Amino acid sequence: MTATSCCRCERMTVAPVAVRHIERASGPGVTVYACPDCAPLLTPGPLPAETASPAGG
Q: How far is CA 49 from CA 18, 33, 42, 52, in A?
A: 24, 25, 17, 6
Contacts of 23 (CB under 8 A, 6+ apart): 29
**Residues near Zn ion, by CB under 5 A:** 6, 8-9, 35, 38
CB of 16 to Zn ion, least distance (A): 9
CB of 24 to Zn ion, least distance (A): 23
CB of 7 to Zn ion, least distance (A): 8
